[in-house]
């Protein structure tokens, strides 16, 4: 597959990714608003609330089903897609921060380590003599790693709803079983059954696969675009690397995140950090911070090494 084909695939995947994000936001908004209207109508019929604007908004706020539910005031203006997305992420961030007060620090650490460990893994696999000649692969790998690793961390991080949200989710019949499944299979919770914990290992798979697919599309697609641009500007430059099949790389990265990254971050954030590091070292904050750093470093290196090994085994990264 030549560079031109990769560039075409890159822009096609970008467009498909944006459409998928918009579709998800639309479906989520429609589902939540439908539930809110039904619950509000029931409350009005039972005489539990008065039909004032303020009361209706309070009920809507109380009936939020998930961290991603976007609530609007009655008669209010419609939010744009991007403002809705930002609002949704803000709510989800608060739920993660409520479950883990160190989530922000861990997020910053994860991004820095994702870039650093991926570069170290690239350097270890290619050596100092080949790191420049194979820079096409290195840039794509680092960009993909940062996006993929952080989303993996975000998606399976333990969450905790506010009291009103938690009570409503636990008693809701509309969404049934799946609305009660936690984001992490091992997170604390008295009302989490073994069946829910098993489901928590499965529910992230579609989202992680899609995130890996998109991250790889941007990483390797951007690299293919830069290669094509370099060829146009410097016709005499001869690259020693073969053009990566962007579609194959996207499928591989999606599968890797759905399985390998899912398992690694579920264990890391559900068992290793809360039970083996944070709880025993609660009285030693500096030692706890250092331990968290090195454990995250080891996790990042392991993921990078496994990802590069897999790509080389199936022939996605080769020299000419």
- Comparing 311 with 161, the larger pLDDT belongs to 311
- Residue with the two structure tokens 């790693």: 145
Amino acid 59: pLDDT: 47
Report the C-alpha gap between 148 and 159 in whole angstroms.
Answer: 20
Amino acid 74: pLDDT: 41
- Give the least confident one: 150-159, 175-184, 192-201, 292-301: 175-184
To the nearest whole percent, how much of the chain has pLDDT over 70?
66
pLDDT tens profile 106-131: 999 999 998 988 888 888 877 888 78
- Residue with the two structure tokens 């822009």: 11
Report the C-alpha gap between 1 and 75 in whole angstroms.
Answer: 53
User: Taking the CA of residue 48 as centre, how many other CA atoms within 13 Å lie in the half-sphere pointing to its CB?
Assistant: 11
Report the C-alpha gap between 38 and 27 in whole angstroms.
Answer: 17
Tally Cβ neighbours within 10 Å of residue 57.
17
pLDDT tens profile 246-259: 888 889 999 999 99
Question: Hey, what are 102's tokens?
Answer: 């160190």
Global pTM value: 0.66
Mean predicted lDDT score pLDDT of the chain = 75
Question: Hey, what are 18's tokens?
Answer: 């944006």
Amino acid 291: pLDDT: 95
pLDDT tens profile 8-63: 555 555 555 555 555 554 544 554 455 555 555 665 565 554 444 444 444 444 54
Question: Hey, what are 201's tokens?
Answer: 């290992």
Report the C-alpha gap between 188 and 197 in whole angstroms.
Answer: 11
Report the C-alpha gap between 293 and 299 in whole angstroms.
Answer: 10
Phi, psi of 319 (to 5 degrees): -90, 165
SS3 281: coil
SS (H, E, C) 131-160: CCCCHHHHHHHHHHHHHHHHHHHHHCCCCC
Give, in order, the Cα–Cα distances in Å from 101 to each of 107, 160, 279, 294: 11, 11, 13, 19
The residues, any chain, with a CB within 8 Å of residue 119's CB and separated by 6 or more, are: 138, 142
Amino acid 117: pLDDT: 86
Maximal CA-CA distance, the chain: 79
DSSP state of 277: I
DSSP track, 154-208 = HHTS-----HHHHHHHHH--SSGGGGG--SSTT---TT--HHHHHHHHHTHHHHH
Report the C-alpha gap between 115 and 178 in whole angstroms.
Answer: 34
Burial class of residue 242 in the structure, from the number of CB atoms within 10 Å of its CB (0-12 exposed, 13-18 middle, 19+ buried): middle
- Comparing 138 with 318, the larger pLDDT belongs to 138
């Amino acid at each position: 597959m030549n560079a031109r084909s990769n560039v075409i695939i890159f822009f096609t995947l970008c467009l498909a990714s944006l459409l998928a994000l918009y579709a998800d936001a639309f479906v989520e908004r429609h589902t939540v608003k439908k539930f809110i209207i039904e619950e509000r109508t029931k409350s009005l019929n039972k005489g539990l609330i008065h039909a004032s604007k303020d009361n209706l908004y309070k009920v809507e706020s109380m009936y939020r089903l998930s961290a991603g539910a976007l609530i609007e005031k009655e008669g209010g203006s419609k939010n744009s897609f991007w403002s809705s997305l930002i609002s949704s992420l803000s709510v989800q961030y608060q739920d993660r921060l409520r479950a883990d007060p160190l989530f922000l620090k861990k997020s910053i650490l994860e991004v820095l380590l994702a870039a650093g460990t991926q570069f170290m893994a690239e350097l270890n696999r290619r050596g100092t003599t080949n790191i420049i000649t194979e820079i096409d692969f290195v840039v794509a790998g680092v960009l993909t790693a940062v996006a993929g690793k952080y989303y993996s961390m975000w998606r399976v991080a333990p969450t905790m709803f506010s009291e009103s949200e938690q009570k409503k989710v636990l008693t809701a019949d509309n969404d049934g079983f799946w609305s009660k499944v936690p984001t992490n299979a091992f997170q604390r919770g008295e009302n989490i059954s073994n069946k829910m914990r098993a489901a928590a290992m499965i529910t992230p798979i579609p989202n992680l696969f899609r995130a890996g697919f998109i991250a790889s599309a941007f990483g390797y697609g951007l690299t293919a675009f830069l290669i094509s641009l370099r060829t146009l500007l410097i016709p005499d430059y001869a690259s020693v690397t073969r053009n990566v099949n962007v579609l194959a790389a996207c499928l591989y990265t999606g599968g890797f995140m759905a399985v390998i990254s899912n398992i690694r971050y579920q264990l890391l954030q559900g068992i290793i950090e809360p039970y083996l590091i944070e709880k025993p070292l609660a009285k030693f904050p500096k030692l706890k911070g250092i331990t968290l750093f090195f454990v995250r470093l080891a996790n990042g290196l392991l993921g990078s090494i496994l990802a590069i090994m897999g790509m080389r085994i199936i022939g996605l990264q080769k020299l000419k």
